[in-house]
Structure 1
Amino acid sequence: MAASHTLHATCVAWDDRAVIITGKSGAGKSALGLQLMALGCKLVADDGVHLMLENGAVVVQAPDTIKGLIEARGIGILNAQVRGRARVVLVVDLDQSEPARLPEARFFEVLGHNLPLIYRVDAPHFAPAILQILKSGWSDR
Protein backbone atom coordinates (compact mmCIF):
# COMPACT_ATOMS: atom_id res chain seq x y z
CA MET A 1 0.00 0.00 0.00
CA ALA A 2 1.32 3.47 -0.89
CA ALA A 3 2.33 5.88 1.87
CA SER A 4 -0.14 8.65 2.58
CA HIS A 5 -0.70 11.49 5.03
CA THR A 6 -3.60 13.82 5.88
CA LEU A 7 -3.11 17.46 6.91
CA HIS A 8 -5.44 20.15 8.26
CA ALA A 9 -4.83 22.57 5.40
CA THR A 10 -6.22 24.24 2.30
CA CYS A 11 -4.90 23.51 -1.17
CA VAL A 12 -5.35 25.18 -4.54
CA ALA A 13 -3.67 24.50 -7.86
CA TRP A 14 -2.63 26.22 -11.05
CA ASP A 15 -2.81 23.50 -13.69
CA ASP A 16 -1.06 20.51 -12.10
CA ARG A 17 1.02 22.54 -9.58
CA ALA A 18 -0.43 22.87 -6.07
CA VAL A 19 0.22 24.91 -2.94
CA ILE A 20 -0.70 23.61 0.49
CA ILE A 21 -1.64 26.36 2.96
CA THR A 22 -1.19 25.44 6.63
CA GLY A 23 -1.95 27.28 9.85
CA LYS A 24 -4.04 27.21 12.99
CA SER A 25 -7.80 27.57 12.88
CA GLY A 26 -8.62 31.16 11.87
CA ALA A 27 -5.14 31.84 10.42
CA GLY A 28 -6.57 32.58 6.97
CA LYS A 29 -6.02 29.33 5.04
CA SER A 30 -9.38 29.44 3.29
CA ALA A 31 -9.15 33.21 2.77
CA LEU A 32 -5.78 32.86 1.01
CA GLY A 33 -7.20 29.95 -0.99
CA LEU A 34 -10.12 32.15 -2.07
CA GLN A 35 -7.71 34.94 -3.09
CA LEU A 36 -5.74 32.50 -5.22
CA MET A 37 -8.96 31.13 -6.73
CA ALA A 38 -9.95 34.70 -7.66
CA LEU A 39 -6.62 34.87 -9.53
CA GLY A 40 -7.43 31.73 -11.52
CA CYS A 41 -6.44 28.77 -9.35
CA LYS A 42 -8.79 25.85 -8.75
CA LEU A 43 -9.62 24.36 -5.38
CA VAL A 44 -8.13 21.00 -4.54
CA ALA A 45 -9.34 20.86 -0.93
CA ASP A 46 -10.30 23.08 1.99
CA ASP A 47 -9.88 22.13 5.65
CA GLY A 48 -8.24 18.79 4.96
CA VAL A 49 -5.88 17.46 2.31
CA HIS A 50 -4.86 13.91 1.54
CA LEU A 51 -1.22 13.55 0.45
CA MET A 52 0.32 10.53 -1.26
CA LEU A 53 3.40 9.61 -3.25
CA GLU A 54 2.94 9.09 -6.95
CA ASN A 55 5.77 8.62 -9.45
CA GLY A 56 8.28 10.13 -7.00
CA ALA A 57 6.20 13.27 -6.30
CA VAL A 58 3.90 14.34 -3.48
CA VAL A 59 0.36 14.46 -4.87
CA VAL A 60 -2.66 15.97 -3.13
CA GLN A 61 -6.39 15.41 -3.39
CA ALA A 62 -9.51 16.17 -1.37
CA PRO A 63 -11.25 13.71 0.90
CA ASP A 64 -14.56 12.81 -0.80
CA THR A 65 -16.64 14.34 2.02
CA ILE A 66 -15.38 17.91 1.37
CA LYS A 67 -14.55 17.83 -2.34
CA GLY A 68 -15.66 21.02 -4.13
CA LEU A 69 -16.41 22.98 -0.94
CA ILE A 70 -14.60 25.94 0.64
CA GLU A 71 -15.51 27.97 3.71
CA ALA A 72 -15.69 31.75 3.53
CA ARG A 73 -15.67 32.79 7.18
CA GLY A 74 -18.72 34.91 8.00
CA ILE A 75 -20.33 34.04 4.65
CA GLY A 76 -20.75 30.27 4.56
CA ILE A 77 -19.74 27.16 2.67
CA LEU A 78 -19.27 27.83 -1.04
CA ASN A 79 -19.14 25.54 -4.07
CA ALA A 80 -15.94 25.72 -6.11
CA GLN A 81 -14.42 24.52 -9.37
CA VAL A 82 -12.02 21.77 -8.46
CA ARG A 83 -8.81 20.18 -9.54
CA GLY A 84 -9.11 16.51 -8.60
CA ARG A 85 -5.44 16.00 -7.82
CA ALA A 86 -2.22 17.91 -8.31
CA ARG A 87 1.51 17.74 -7.61
CA VAL A 88 2.55 19.75 -4.53
CA VAL A 89 5.27 22.29 -5.34
CA LEU A 90 4.92 24.69 -2.39
CA VAL A 91 3.83 24.84 1.25
CA VAL A 92 2.80 28.10 2.94
CA ASP A 93 2.84 28.35 6.76
CA LEU A 94 0.48 31.13 7.88
CA ASP A 95 1.47 30.73 11.54
CA GLN A 96 4.93 32.18 10.85
CA SER A 97 5.65 35.69 9.52
CA GLU A 98 8.57 36.25 7.17
CA PRO A 99 11.01 38.83 8.59
CA ALA A 100 13.58 38.71 5.76
CA ARG A 101 13.43 40.61 2.49
CA LEU A 102 15.10 37.71 0.63
CA PRO A 103 14.65 34.65 2.87
CA GLU A 104 16.82 31.55 2.84
CA ALA A 105 15.30 28.40 1.38
CA ARG A 106 13.15 26.45 3.84
CA PHE A 107 11.53 23.04 3.49
CA PHE A 108 8.51 21.15 4.78
CA GLU A 109 9.15 17.42 5.10
CA VAL A 110 6.28 15.05 4.30
CA LEU A 111 6.30 11.43 3.17
CA GLY A 112 10.10 11.55 3.00
CA HIS A 113 10.14 14.50 0.57
CA ASN A 114 11.25 18.09 1.22
CA LEU A 115 8.83 20.63 -0.27
CA PRO A 116 9.67 24.35 -0.57
CA LEU A 117 8.21 26.28 2.38
CA ILE A 118 7.44 29.98 2.74
CA TYR A 119 6.03 31.97 5.63
CA ARG A 120 3.23 34.54 5.65
CA VAL A 121 4.05 37.94 4.14
CA ASP A 122 1.66 40.69 5.21
CA ALA A 123 1.71 42.60 1.94
CA PRO A 124 -0.60 42.94 -1.08
CA HIS A 125 1.79 40.96 -3.30
CA PHE A 126 1.59 37.76 -1.20
CA ALA A 127 -1.15 35.92 -3.14
CA PRO A 128 0.13 37.08 -6.57
CA ALA A 129 3.67 35.95 -5.63
CA ILE A 130 2.36 32.49 -4.65
CA LEU A 131 0.56 32.28 -7.99
CA GLN A 132 3.78 33.24 -9.80
CA ILE A 133 5.65 30.46 -7.96
CA LEU A 134 2.95 28.01 -9.08
CA LYS A 135 3.25 29.21 -12.67
CA SER A 136 7.03 29.63 -13.04
CA GLY A 137 8.93 28.87 -9.81
CA TRP A 138 11.83 30.88 -8.39
CA SER A 139 14.62 32.53 -10.31
CA ASP A 140 18.01 30.84 -10.04
CA ARG A 141 19.79 34.07 -10.93
Structure 2
Amino acid sequence: MSDRVLANVTGVALGGRVLLIEGPPGAGKSSLALALIDRGAVLVGDDAVAVTVRDGRLVATPPPNTAGLIEIRNVGIVEMPVAKGPVALVLSLDPAAPRFPMEVATREIEGCAVPVLPFAPGDAIQALRAEQALAVHGLPLPKPGEKA
Protein backbone atom coordinates (compact mmCIF):
# COMPACT_ATOMS: atom_id res chain seq x y z
CA MET A 1 0.00 0.00 0.00
CA SER A 2 1.40 3.42 -0.90
CA ASP A 3 1.45 6.43 1.37
CA ARG A 4 -1.42 8.91 1.28
CA VAL A 5 -0.51 12.56 1.85
CA LEU A 6 -2.85 14.51 4.12
CA ALA A 7 -2.98 18.23 3.20
CA ASN A 8 -3.52 21.07 5.68
CA VAL A 9 -2.15 18.81 8.43
CA THR A 10 1.02 19.37 10.46
CA GLY A 11 2.49 16.54 12.53
CA VAL A 12 4.93 16.25 15.39
CA ALA A 13 6.29 13.21 17.20
CA LEU A 14 6.05 13.45 20.95
CA GLY A 15 6.99 10.64 23.31
CA GLY A 16 7.00 8.07 20.49
CA ARG A 17 3.52 8.98 19.21
CA VAL A 18 2.48 11.35 16.45
CA LEU A 19 0.12 14.23 17.08
CA LEU A 20 -1.56 15.56 13.93
CA ILE A 21 -2.74 19.18 13.89
CA GLU A 22 -5.35 20.05 11.27
CA GLY A 23 -6.90 23.34 10.25
CA PRO A 24 -7.26 25.80 7.40
CA PRO A 25 -4.31 27.91 6.22
CA GLY A 26 -3.39 30.49 8.86
CA ALA A 27 -5.14 28.61 11.71
CA GLY A 28 -1.94 28.17 13.73
CA LYS A 29 -0.82 24.61 12.86
CA SER A 30 2.84 25.55 12.43
CA SER A 31 2.81 27.83 15.48
CA LEU A 32 1.53 25.03 17.70
CA ALA A 33 4.04 22.62 16.14
CA LEU A 34 6.89 25.06 16.86
CA ALA A 35 5.74 25.45 20.46
CA LEU A 36 5.73 21.66 20.83
CA ILE A 37 9.14 21.35 19.11
CA ASP A 38 10.46 23.89 21.61
CA ARG A 39 9.26 21.47 24.32
CA GLY A 40 11.03 18.45 22.77
CA ALA A 41 8.74 17.24 19.97
CA VAL A 42 10.19 16.45 16.53
CA LEU A 43 8.66 17.58 13.23
CA VAL A 44 6.96 14.95 11.08
CA GLY A 45 5.60 17.32 8.42
CA ASP A 46 4.37 20.88 8.07
CA ASP A 47 1.11 21.43 6.19
CA ALA A 48 1.35 17.89 4.79
CA VAL A 49 1.96 14.50 6.39
CA ALA A 50 2.23 11.12 4.68
CA VAL A 51 0.29 8.27 6.30
CA THR A 52 0.16 4.55 5.73
CA VAL A 53 -1.14 1.54 7.62
CA ARG A 54 1.42 -0.82 9.12
CA ASP A 55 0.38 -3.78 11.25
CA GLY A 56 -3.09 -2.31 11.69
CA ARG A 57 -1.88 1.09 12.94
CA LEU A 58 -1.82 4.43 11.14
CA VAL A 59 1.79 5.59 10.82
CA ALA A 60 2.78 9.14 9.89
CA THR A 61 5.98 9.92 7.99
CA PRO A 62 7.43 13.09 6.47
CA PRO A 63 5.84 14.00 3.13
CA PRO A 64 8.08 13.27 0.14
CA ASN A 65 8.21 16.79 -1.34
CA THR A 66 8.67 18.89 1.81
CA ALA A 67 10.35 16.55 4.32
CA GLY A 68 12.23 18.48 6.99
CA LEU A 69 10.81 21.89 6.06
CA ILE A 70 8.57 24.10 8.20
CA GLU A 71 7.27 27.59 7.56
CA ILE A 72 7.95 30.03 10.35
CA ARG A 73 5.80 33.12 9.91
CA ASN A 74 7.85 36.29 9.34
CA VAL A 75 11.03 34.18 9.10
CA GLY A 76 10.62 31.86 6.10
CA ILE A 77 11.14 28.18 5.37
CA VAL A 78 13.46 26.48 7.86
CA GLU A 79 14.98 22.98 7.85
CA MET A 80 14.45 20.74 10.88
CA PRO A 81 15.09 17.11 11.81
CA VAL A 82 12.13 14.79 11.22
CA ALA A 83 10.61 11.72 12.82
CA LYS A 84 7.87 9.21 12.11
CA GLY A 85 5.58 7.13 14.26
CA PRO A 86 2.10 5.85 15.05
CA VAL A 87 -0.66 8.45 14.93
CA ALA A 88 -2.28 8.82 18.35
CA LEU A 89 -4.47 11.94 18.12
CA VAL A 90 -5.72 14.62 15.75
CA LEU A 91 -6.15 18.13 17.13
CA SER A 92 -8.66 19.98 14.96
CA LEU A 93 -7.98 23.69 15.37
CA ASP A 94 -11.25 25.52 15.98
CA PRO A 95 -11.63 28.85 17.82
CA ALA A 96 -15.12 27.69 18.90
CA ALA A 97 -13.87 24.41 20.42
CA PRO A 98 -15.76 23.57 23.60
CA ARG A 99 -13.96 24.48 26.79
CA PHE A 100 -14.54 21.03 28.28
CA PRO A 101 -14.93 18.10 25.85
CA MET A 102 -17.66 15.74 27.00
CA GLU A 103 -16.53 13.02 24.60
CA VAL A 104 -13.85 12.63 21.97
CA ALA A 105 -14.92 11.66 18.47
CA THR A 106 -12.96 9.34 16.22
CA ARG A 107 -12.31 9.54 12.50
CA GLU A 108 -11.42 6.75 10.11
CA ILE A 109 -8.16 7.53 8.32
CA GLU A 110 -7.06 4.80 5.92
CA GLY A 111 -9.34 2.41 7.82
CA CYS A 112 -7.87 3.20 11.26
CA ALA A 113 -9.92 4.89 13.98
CA VAL A 114 -8.08 7.92 15.38
CA PRO A 115 -9.34 10.19 18.19
CA VAL A 116 -10.10 13.76 17.04
CA LEU A 117 -10.28 16.59 19.56
CA PRO A 118 -11.53 20.12 18.71
CA PHE A 119 -8.77 22.42 19.98
CA ALA A 120 -8.77 26.20 20.43
CA PRO A 121 -5.60 27.65 18.88
CA GLY A 122 -3.48 30.59 19.78
CA ASP A 123 -3.23 31.02 23.54
CA ALA A 124 0.06 31.20 25.39
CA ILE A 125 -0.11 27.69 26.82
CA GLN A 126 -1.34 25.78 23.78
CA ALA A 127 1.70 23.46 23.76
CA LEU A 128 1.03 22.41 27.36
CA ARG A 129 -2.64 21.84 26.52
CA ALA A 130 -1.68 19.78 23.43
CA GLU A 131 0.66 17.58 25.49
CA GLN A 132 -2.12 16.95 28.01
CA ALA A 133 -4.61 16.21 25.21
CA LEU A 134 -2.23 13.58 23.86
CA ALA A 135 -1.73 12.08 27.33
CA VAL A 136 -5.45 11.93 28.10
CA HIS A 137 -7.09 11.23 24.73
CA GLY A 138 -4.35 9.77 22.49
CA LEU A 139 -3.99 6.15 21.47
CA PRO A 140 -1.33 4.25 23.46
CA LEU A 141 2.11 3.40 22.14
CA PRO A 142 2.42 -0.01 20.48
CA LYS A 143 3.26 -2.77 22.93
CA PRO A 144 6.86 -4.03 23.00
CA GLY A 145 7.43 -6.25 20.00
CA GLU A 146 4.67 -4.61 17.91
CA LYS A 147 5.83 -2.78 14.82
CA ALA A 148 4.93 0.88 14.40
Normalised-by-shorter TM-score class: 0.7 to 0.9
Deviates further, 43-52 or 99-108: 99-108
Which structure is higher in strand share?
1
**Match status 1:86 vs 2:85:** yes
Q: Could you tell me which amino acid in structure 2 is paired with residue 31 of structure 1?
A: S
Task: Give CA-to-partner distance per residue, 1:6-65, whole Å, 9 cap, x none.
Answer: 211110011320011111111111111111101110001112111100011000111232
State TM-score, norm by structure 1: 0.85
Deviation at 1:125, TM superposition (A): 3.6
4+ residue segments displaced more than 6 Å:
none
Residue pairs, 1:56-75, within 5 angstroms = 56-75=56-75
- Whole-angstrom distance in 1 between the partners of 2:95 and 2:4: 22
By how many angstroms is 1:80 displaced? Answer: 1.2
- In structure 1, the residue matched to 2:36 is 36
TM-score w.r.t. the length of structure 2 is 0.81
Count of aligned positions? 136
Are residues 95 and 121 of structure 1, via their aligned partners in 2, closer, same or farther at CA, if it must alter by over 3 Å?
Answer: closer
Distance 2:101 2:27 in 1: 23
Q: Identical aligned pairs, as a percentage?
A: 33
Q: Is the 8 Å Cα contact of residues 14 and 42 (structure 1) preserved in structure 2?
A: yes
Q: Which runs of 5+ in 1 are unaligned?
A: none
What CA distance in whole angstroms lies between the structure 2 residues aligned with 1:96 and 1:70?
23
Structure 2 residue runs without a partner (length 5+): 138-148
- The separation in 2 between residues aligned to 1:108 and 1:118, in whole angstroms, is 10
